Amino acid sequence: MSPIQILGKPFLASLLLISSHLFGQNEPFTMRVLANNFSFPWEIVYGPDNNIWTTERTSGKVTLVTPGNGSKKTILTLGSKMVQSAGQDGLLGLALHPLFLTTKPYVFIAYTYASIDATHRLTKIERYTYTVQRNSKAALTNPVTVIDNLPGSNDHNSGRLAVGPDSKLYYSIGDMGAGQFDNSARQNNAQNLSVYEGKILRLNLEPINGSWIPSDNPF
């Protein structure tokens, strides 16, 4: 009798017992609709200001939701700055500066802004300043380009933004849908270090010596 045969029955019995235990518990959660009528929400971030920040991919809106009462307000609409015509382009990632509540109320967003042809786009990352005006109306103002002319697509943009523990801004670029559907003829460059497609970009949260690109980046 093989070790697999010897161990099989006791292991199976243990697995069934564990599974039964896990599924036998009542989930201590309740569900309610907090806010609705979003236009393809892409990024959802719970901010240090206790607001839920969302990006709407197709409408180009950044929206704040108050968790307590579900109130919803739009603080930015990209409008004609953004290009969106397919299933995975438009307004994508969002990240807040780690000093958002104190000295640097900055918000970073990524979106496709130019259409080269039916499938090829260009993407940029911008930094906005969160302001609350005298009438208590919040808005994102003073856009600053962090980086532009990044590859984009109608498919597999990825487009996620996050701040790392090293206080750098990270951005994921997808493979642009290379090799499938409308992009079947597009070369997959994920393993090619000379191009941005299929990579993680590392950026400064603010320019250092005039550059958004860290001097210690590996490539």
Q: 79 with 62: CB under 8 angstroms?
A: no
- Tell me which long-range contacts 130-137 makes (C-beta under 8 A, separation of at least 24): 130/75, 130/100, 130/105, 130/106, 131/105
CA distances from 190 to 175, 193, 208 (A): 6, 8, 28
Strands of the sheet containing 168-173, edge to edge, are 158-163, 168-173, 200-204
Helix or strand holding residue 41 (H, E): strand 41-46
Q: Please confirm, yes or no, whether 156 is among the known catalytic residues.
A: yes
The rounded distance, in Å, linking the Cα atoms of 204 and 92 is 19
Residue from 37, 162, 165, 39 nearest 94 by CA? 162
Residue from 87, 84, 34 nearest 61 by CA? 84
Contacts with 8 (C-beta within 8 Å, 6 or more apart), sequence order: none
CA distances from 122 to 61, 65, 111 (A): 19, 29, 9
Active-site position among 21, 97, 120, 156: 156
The DSSP code for 211 is: B
**Active centre residues (catalytic):** 156
